[in-house]
Structure 1
Amino acid sequence: MFTTEIEQIPERRTLWEQTAQRLQTLIANGTLAPGTRLTENALAEQMGVSRAPLREAIRHLINVGLLVSEPYKGVRVLELTREGLHQLYEYRTGIEQMAFRSLWPKRGARSFADLDHRQARLLEAIDDGDSALAIDRELELHQWCYELSGNTLLLDAWTRIKPHLRCYFVLHQRAHNRAGPARQSHDSYIEHAKGESLPAALDFIEAHMKQGFDQVIAHLR
């Protein structure tokens, strides 16, 4: 009971962090299209924030690679390319396999219950048809392995690519014409995460990351 109450306490974020999250959402849902150049004054007015937190948010999104700063040209939204998505796929597959190697001896009933809980929350979002929430919940499910690994460098790497994955998942939804992943798409992932064979889990991760990837690549113009 006490744990449940703790989990219900909302995460507190500074104004610039809230602004960065809103910008990520605008980029992910296509409101700020790839390649769009940002005008600080207009964006601050549109979002109803002062320029100071907006600058901090923009600086953060430049650091994580969602925005690109060009000398004498200003700031623009990152353009997703086939080459960039291939690099994202390879990098994400590699760090998730590393996380599984680290977490494997740390698994137990509590960690499995946590994974099941994350899966239930994802299914809830899918059933509700909430595409944005489904993306958040899918990221939350995959974050399980990085948290359990106990490797802070891996968790930091995951945190840095999450904004890119959020944009990728939006493309994935559009390419497959659905709100979020298919209901059964993570059943085998969870089965392997709880299984007895690490090599089988590592092989499956590579296959899982590849699901629908070619269709997303073909969807890019």
Structure 2
Amino acid sequence: MSTRHKTRPSKPALPDFDAIVPVTRRAQIAETMRSLILSGQFEPGAQIVESELAERFGVSRGSVREAIWELVDQRLLVNKPYSGTYVAETDASTMEEVYSVRGSLEKHCFSELWDRRDGAYEDEFSRRHDSLARAVRSRDKLASIEAELHFHSFPYEFADNSVLLGVWQQLSQQIQLNFVMTQSIVHSNSFLEDARRYFEVALGPDLDAMHAEIDRHLELGVQAIRMLRPPAEVEGKV
């Protein structure tokens, strides 16, 4: 009996793509500094001294300088001629612009998800709200910043709209800088009451009430910045 050899299908040719590039020192330094800025460990307005960072990281000043310019491009650092480099600050004018975009975005986000809210939505939102409350009561600055961003990210994640989520992620660094600057206000009963109100309306029956709550909540964020910064523009504002 004759045997027939099965021929294996030929493997498709791989598409063109770039080889993996090892992470550079500049990238590692930039990522570490980004985390320190967005966690508030490098406080807004603090001066960044290149030589001190180079010694602390154990690298050349050139590597630190490249990382600094990357963060300047991302508007997390500000270079002031004849003065130095500083962690970016924000002011009410800037946050009004950011929160105007965020307000429109968030209203659209809730409009998309409103009729799809279910038990999983309530459970996860409740979990994130409880985590925020615990972090604030513990007076842990870093945990509070992370928990607040995690709490407000949930509607964008649940909406399952990649465009909405992408725009939120682009805004999140600027919003997180605002969280960093308003930490003295975060650790108060009024902050927890406001967060609770936002959460309860987000679980309620009235979409129009949610839209109004978004406006109210974001205006409180701008007011918090006004309490900390004068009405005049901050020098080197982002």
- Could you tell me the TM-score, scaled by structure 2's length? 0.70
Contact 1:189 1:208 in 2 (8 A): yes
Match of 1:202 in 2: 211
Q: Which amino acid aligns with 2:36?
A: T
Which consecutive unaligned segments of at least 5 residues does structure 2 have?
1-22, 231-238
Cα-Cα RMSD: 3.4
Q: Which has the higher helix share?
A: 1
Match of 2:183 in 1: 173
Q: Which amino acid aligns with 1:208?
A: H
- Cα 1:92–1:61 change in 2 (3 A) is farther
Deviation of the 1:45 alpha carbon: 2.9
User: Which is higher, the Rg of structure 1 or of structure 2?
Assistant: 2
* 1:34 alignment partner, one of 19, 38, 45: 45
Work out whether 1:119 is the aligned partner of 2:119: no
Give the 5 Å matches for 1:63-212. Answer: 64-68=74-78, 76-174=86-184, 176=185, 178=187, 182-211=191-220
Q: How many residues in Structure 1 have an aligned counterpart in Structure 2?
A: 206
Cα deviations by residue, 1:148-169 (Å, 9 ceiling, x for unpaired) = 1111122122112222222211
More moved, 90-99 vs 27-36: 27-36
Q: Which amino acid aligns with 1:81?
A: D
Contact 1:119 1:141 in 2 (8 A): yes
CA distance in 2, matches of 1:188, 1:77: 33
CA distance in 1, matches of 2:64, 2:113: 38
CA distance in 2, matches of 1:47, 1:122: 32
- Could you tell me the TM-score, scaled by structure 1's length? 0.74
Cα deviations by residue, 1:57-104 (Å, 9 ceiling, x for unpaired) = 656644543235799999653342332122122122222112112221
* 1:220 alignment partner, one of 220, 226, 229: 229
Which of structures 1 and 2 has the larger relative contact order (alpha carbons within 8 angstroms, sep 6+)?
A: 2
